[in-house]
Amino acid sequence: MAVYAGFRVAKYLLGVASSFVQYCVLPRRNLKSLYGDGWAVITGASDGLGKQYAIELAKSGFKIVLVARNRGKLEAVAQMIRDTYNVNV
């Protein structure tokens, strides 16, 4: 039983180490070279993860299509992205 538990712990720690290296050590992927110079559609873009995805894609130079239920928040996010990253929204 102890050997099995040891293997499980080792597998978990290897996964954590792999994730750390992938997201914290290795350089970011160039999305424009992978997917071209185009548009990105982000749903739930007025708040939370959707908003952050929109910001990160705008940083990469993508033109952005934002979709959300709250029009006021959506327009504020769109204006912020336009002003900060100078991309079409």
Query: How many independent structural domains does the chain possess?
Result: 1
SS3 39: strand
pLDDT classification of 13: cutoffs 50, 70, 90: confident
User: What integer pLDDT is reported at residue 77 of this predicted model?
Assistant: 93
Give per-residue pLDDT as tens, 41-86: 999 888 888 999 899 899 888 999 999 999 999 999 999 999 999 9
Query: Is the predicted pLDDT of residue 33 greater than 80, yes or no?
Result: no
Label residue 9 exposed, middle or buried (CB < 10 Å: 0-12, 13-18, 19+).
exposed
Confidence of residue 25 (pLDDT cuts 50, 70, 90): confident
pTM score, two decimals?
A: 0.66
Dihedral of CA atoms 46, 52, 54, 60 in degrees, nearest 10, equals 160
Boundaries of domain holding 7: 2-85
Give pairs for 17-22: CB < 8 Å, separation 24+: none
